[in-house]
């Protein structure tokens, strides 16, 4: 038996998954086939003597998908990240993706327009990351390698250092041998190289043995100086996101092009319209040159200006156009080069024709240098505005990236503080934090006391008190205190880095609607070129057949000129940028707004799924309730006693569990046995999922067997008293010692302060609300009554695997999407099973891989809220609506403007001049980005506008219950409590 993982490209929906499973599952020898749409992976188990990997690849490719071996003994898969600068639209993204995926050995390539990143999975035995970089460079873009590592070595850290002090006369092989001496005590490999005039050394090391600072010290012992290379550090990321380089480039070119455009327009349009006598009397510059008949000074000036722009600014487009043309792709550069070159060449042709055959009446030639110059001016202006707007879409991500300080103070071996760059900070370093400074890493306070602003992570506006043993989070701001902490999560392992990573990965997870837009953008340019040729041919024929019936074709400038101008307008007015920017800009703003409100949405596809959601399934403990449970009472069985020995054994057994019920029992034992100094030792323990815990402990030389948990865990044949009916409203945990049931714990849990508002908001909006819990029926119904959840929608005493079965049942019985909301402790299976998994995470637990949405909240569960769920729902719906609006505008613009530019209204004398087409094209992409920026105005206040209505309804229910003979006093008390707890 053999297990192999394949990467399958091209799957877009569940139907694709089913097709692959059916095709592969039918291959003789295949035992099991599991396909994941989200990871684009196909996990196969097959009999080695009947099947091989090649057959699987052929079967998947026969389905119309791309298939590559991703994990197996035949292949070593590597992961690489490159920054790609120069992309402007979806056509650029498609071009880069296509060229990279054509490489033999590349299994997957994902390109993000907004973060300007390319994530590649490739076979390192067939090609290197530098080969991929060269292909991207050849496509007309600037690529920089960020990282490259073997997937199997993901736990091994890699660091690259710039090396100074190396003699360039010394052979590279000799220096490399010197660095091999550093391979010891954690350093697994060292490789020295000289790249582009820089001496660099790359190290692989085990972080639990040594760190980057240790490696830097070893380099200095060789007589060299090493500084860690962070080609994608905070400042670089900030510049990329802000588009500083692009904005400066287009600002300079826009200024130059605008000045030249004003001069050209004055020559060709301004003066002739305002002072027509200048042309009639052939005043300068509208008279012929003294050295060549038929050549006018106006055209000499226009030629000089247009030529300057064609060489300088036009050179930028020509280089990109030529590289894309070599690979058979088309981008916005293709349209710009085609339109401006045609206008420029046509003008030169008209001048030459007028020189060869001078006009007898001194008529000026049909020159459109002004069109070429104005196009460059409009394009430069549009690019400048577009990049400014795009930089504003990533402000939330930029703020997060800027939170980490560049350096910090750590204690040396002699406990003397010294400053180190943040890149050289290592786990277990003791960091000193002064008042008002940002915390550089995650860690545990070892000395001192302070207040810290953690609103970045938890959304809590008030500072949080930190003492010895408290956890701190990178990026948070220290208050008035001075303290020390031990670093536990540094660099990419910090919680802040996880948040940034999730936000960036959200750009790589494209919704189906964006993939459709990318497809349209990829075929857009060739289609426009075909339409341009058809337009010119059509009007050239019609101008000779029915010119008398079309006054617009009787222009004094000639029929050819009018046909040519109409065709040029088609090229100019078309804009694939609007299509390409419609989705990624909106998703970037939407995920940024979510992060600002402590909601991490892991992709545009998740936002799209929220629009098809019909049911919300909530876990109870830790989600709808605080999870801070407390024992209200312990009820003894007849003739039984809760002795000090039993309490000691009970406390020792429950200390091994992190379950909220176990923690409440530990607290109860500590409270009633404060004076006891008995300590039991747990010899063996077994956690029975969904039931409880079984332990064997020893106390004072005697061994005792304890069972703690649900009634089903108790000895066979024992029946609970009738008083333990499901209507009691408590969570019950029974205690059995040496096969004798001692009694039961009655445990309660408080409902979160905004759970009532959240649940009723969803109910009012027409969503189905369900609750699943492993707790007893009575406890579950008590919470359901408080929150207004229908009793038939409550599932109690459910195991973790049973939760997945319930969600699957709801999915089979409904076409609506299912959202499961859990606290992330034991809900990973059902988070994956549901259509959208939402995890309520504390500030120290943000790496929820199984969840699609992570809601950050206070580490103190008593202060945790559910409002982030409504934020995620509303932000996703608003973002997806904005994506559809952007695409609608982009498609409508092209569908409306392209026919006009083709001359549909020409019979009525209405045409679209090339300069007007250029301005419309430049503004179309700008308008789409500005539309996306409107999402930044999102505010959460409107979500709770109906809060007072709910409060008044609850109060009326409470008053009516007080005067009802069939009222439930427990329920009335809960509603009153809930009303008081409303924020």
Q: Are 673 and 700 in contact (CB under 8 A)?
A: no
Residue tagged 């119309």 (tokens): 64
> How many C-beta neighbours within 10 Å does residue 670 have?
12
Q: Is 384 helix (H, G, I), strand (E, B) or coil?
A: helix
Which residues have CB under 8 Å from 308's CB, separation 6+? 260
Q: Chain centroid to CA 141: how far?
A: 23
- Please state whether beta strands 836-842 and 817-822 pair in parallel, antiparallel, or not at all (unpaired): parallel
- Classify residue 818 as left (phi > 0), alpha (psi -120 to 50) or beta: beta
Q: Is 619 a catalytic residue?
A: yes
Residue 646: C-alpha distances to residues 682, 683, 739, 743 (Å): 13, 16, 13, 12
Q: Are 425 and 491 in contact (CB under 8 A)?
A: yes
Its sign, for the CA torsion 9, 10, 11, 16, is negative
Q: Are 142 and 86 in contact (CB under 8 A)?
A: yes
Task: Report d(CA 412, CA 393) in Å as an integer.
Answer: 42
Task: Report d(CA 737, CA 707) in Å as an integer.
Answer: 7
- Classify residue 958 as left (phi > 0), alpha (psi -120 to 50) or beta: alpha
What six digits make up the tokens of 562? 């009018």
Say which of 429, 605, 619, 757 is annotated catalytic: 619
DSSP lists the bridge partners of residue 9 as 66
Angle separating helix axes 576-596 and 369-393, nearest 10 degrees: 20
Q: How far apart are the first and last CA of the chain?
A: 58
Beta strands, E only, 654-758:
681-688, 692-699, 702-709, 731-737, 740-748
Residue tagged 């940028």 (tokens): 577
> How many C-beta neighbours within 10 Å does residue 776 have?
24
Around 471, how many Cα atoms within 13 Å sit in the side-chain half-sphere? 15
CB burial class (10 A; 0-12, 13-18, 19+) of residue 333?
buried
One-letter-per-residue 3-state SS of 45-66 = EECCCCCCHHHHHHHHHHCCCE
Task: Report d(CA 424, CA 88) in Å as an integer.
Answer: 36
What six digits make up the tokens of 221? 């012992």
Q: H-helix or E-strand containing 278? A: helix 277-280
Give me the helices (H) in 327-394, please.
332-356, 369-393
Number of H helices, E strands in the chain: 31, 34
Angle separating helix axes 867-901 and 755-764, nearest 10 degrees: 40
Nearest CA to 332 out of 894, 884, 902, 915 is that of 894
| Maximum distance among all Cα pairs of the chain, rounded to whole angstroms | 127
Radius of gyration of the chain (CA): 35
What six digits make up the tokens of 388? 């400014």
What six digits make up the tokens of 281? 């009397």
CB burial class (10 A; 0-12, 13-18, 19+) of residue 658?
exposed
Q: Are 943 and 599 in contact (CB under 8 A)?
A: no
Q: Are 140 and 86 in contact (CB under 8 A)?
A: yes
Nearest CA to 842 out of 860, 821, 830 is that of 860
Residue tagged 């109409």 (tokens): 566
Active-site residue numbers?
619
């Amino acid at each position: 038996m053999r297990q192999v993982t394949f990467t399958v490209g091209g799957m877009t929906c569940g139907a694709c998954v089913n097709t692959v499973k059916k095709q592969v599952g039918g291959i003789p020898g295949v035992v099991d086939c599991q396909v994941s749409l989200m990871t684009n992976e196909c996990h196969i188990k097959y009999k080695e003597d009947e099947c091989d990997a090649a057959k699987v690849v052929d079967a998947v490719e026969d389905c119309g998908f791309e298939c590559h071996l991703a994990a197996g003994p035949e292949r070593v898969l590597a992961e690489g990240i490159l920054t790609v600068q120069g992309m402007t639209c979806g056509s650029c993204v498609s071009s880069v993706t296509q060229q990279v995926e054509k490489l033999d050995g590349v299994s997957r390539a994902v390109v993000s327009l907004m973060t300007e990143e390319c994530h590649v999975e490739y076979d390192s035995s067939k090609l290197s990351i530098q080969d991929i970089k060269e292909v991207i460079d050849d496509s007309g873009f600037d690529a920089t390698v960020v990282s490259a590592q073997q997937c199997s070595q993901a736990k091994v850290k890699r660091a690259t250092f710039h090396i100074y002090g190396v003699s360039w006369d010394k052979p590279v092989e000799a220096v490399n041998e010197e660095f091999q001496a550093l391979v010891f005590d954690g350093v697994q490999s060292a490789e020295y190289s000289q790249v582009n005039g820089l001496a660099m050394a790359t190290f692989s090391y085990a972080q639990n043995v040594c760190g980057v600072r240790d490696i830097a010290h070893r380099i200095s012992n060789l007589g060299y100086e090493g500084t860690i290379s962070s080609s994608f550090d905070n400042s670089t990321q900030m510049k990329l996101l802000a588009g500083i380089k692009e904005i400066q480039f287009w600002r300079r070119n826009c200024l130059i092009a605008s000045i030249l455009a004003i001069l050209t327009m004055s020559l060709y349009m301004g003066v002739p319209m305002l002072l027509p006598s200048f042309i009639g009397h052939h005043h300068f510059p509208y008279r012929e040159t003294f050295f060549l008949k038929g050549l006018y000074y106006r055209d000499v000036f226009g030629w000089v200006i247009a030529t300057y722009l064609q060489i300088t600014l036009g050179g930028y487009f020509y280089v990109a156009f030529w590289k894309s043309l070599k690979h058979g792709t088309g981008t916005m550069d293709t349209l710009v080069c085609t339109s401006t070159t045609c206008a420029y060449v046509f003008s030169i042709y008209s001048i030459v024709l007028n020189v060869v055959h001078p006009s007898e009446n001194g008529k000026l030639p049909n020159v459109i240098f002004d069109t070429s110059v104005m196009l460059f001016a409009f394009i430069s202006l549009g690019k400048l505005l577009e990049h400014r707007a795009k930089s504003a879409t990533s402000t939330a991500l930029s703020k997060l990236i800027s939170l980490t300080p560049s350096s910090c103070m750590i204690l040396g071996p002699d406990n003397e503080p010294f400053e180190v760059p943040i890149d050289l900070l290592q786990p277990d370093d003791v960091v000193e934090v002064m008042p008002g400074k940002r915390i550089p890493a995650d860690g545990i306070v070892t000395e001192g006391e302070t207040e810290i602003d953690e609103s970045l992570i938890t959304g809590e506006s008030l500072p949080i008190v930190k003492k010895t043993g408290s956890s701190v989070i990178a990026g948070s701001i220290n208050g008035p205190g001075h303290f020390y902490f031990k670093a536990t999560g540094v660099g990419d392992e910090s919680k802040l880095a996880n948040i940034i990573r999730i936000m960036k990965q959200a750009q790589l997870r494209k919704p189906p609607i964006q993939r459709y837009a990318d497809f349209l953008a990829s075929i857009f340019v060739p289609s426009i070129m075909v339409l341009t040729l058809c337009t010119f041919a059509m009007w050239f024929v019609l101008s000779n057949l029915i010119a008398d019936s079309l006054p617009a074709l009787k222009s004094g400038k000639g029929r050819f000129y009018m046909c040519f101008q109409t065709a040029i307008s088609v090229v100019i007015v078309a804009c694939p940028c609007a299509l390409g920017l419609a989705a990624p800009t909106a998703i970037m703003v939407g995920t940024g707004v979510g992060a600002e409100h402590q909601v991490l949405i892991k992709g545009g596809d998740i936002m799209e799924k929220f629009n098809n959601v019909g049911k919300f399934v909530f876990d109870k403990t830790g989600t709808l309730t605080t999870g801070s449970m407390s024992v209200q009472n312990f009820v003894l069985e007849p003739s039984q006693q809760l002795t000090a020995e039993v309490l000691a054994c009970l406390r020792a057994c429950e200390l091994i569990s992190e379950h909220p019920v176990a923690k409440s029992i530990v607290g109860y034992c500590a409270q009633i046995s404060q004076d006891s100094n008995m300590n039991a030792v747990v010899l063996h323990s077994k956690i029975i999922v969904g039931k409880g815990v079984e332990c064997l402990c020893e106390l004072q030389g005697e061994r005792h067997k304890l069972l703690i948990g649900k009634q089903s865990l108790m000895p066979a044949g024992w029946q609970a008293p009738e008083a333990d009916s499901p209507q009691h409203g408590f969570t019950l945990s029974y205690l059995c010692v040496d096969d004798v049931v001692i009694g039961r714990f009655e445990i309660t849990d408080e409902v979160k302060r905004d759970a009532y508002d959240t649940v009723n908001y969803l109910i009012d909006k027409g969503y189905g609300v369900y609750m699943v819990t492993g707790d007893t029926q009575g406890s579950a119904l008590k919470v359901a009554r408080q929150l207004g959840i229908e009793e038939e929608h409550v599932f109690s005493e459910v195991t973790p695997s049973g939760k997945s079965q319930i969600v699957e049942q709801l999915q089979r019985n409904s076409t609506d999407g299912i959202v499961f909301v859990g606290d992330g402790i034991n809900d990973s299976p059902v988070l994956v099973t549901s259509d959208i998994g939402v995890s309520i995470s504390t500030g120290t637990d943000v790496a929820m891989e199984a969840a699609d949405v992570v809601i950050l909240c206070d580490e103190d569960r008593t202060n945790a809220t559910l409002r982030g769920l409504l934020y995620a729902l509303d932000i996703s719906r608003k973002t997806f609506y904005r994506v559809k609006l952007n695409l609608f505008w982009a498609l409508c613009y092209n569908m409306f403007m392209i026919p006009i530019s083709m001359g549909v209204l020409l019979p009525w004398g209405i045409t679209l001049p090339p300069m007007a087409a250029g301005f419309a094209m430049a503004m179309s992409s700008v308008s789409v980005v500005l539309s996306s920026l409107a999402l930044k105005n999102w505010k959460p206040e409107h979500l709770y506008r109906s809060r007072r209505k709910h409060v008044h309804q609850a109060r009326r229910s409470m008053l009516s219950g007080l005067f009802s003979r069939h009222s439930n006093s427990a329920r009335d008390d809960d509603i009153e409590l809930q009303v008081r707890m409303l924020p």
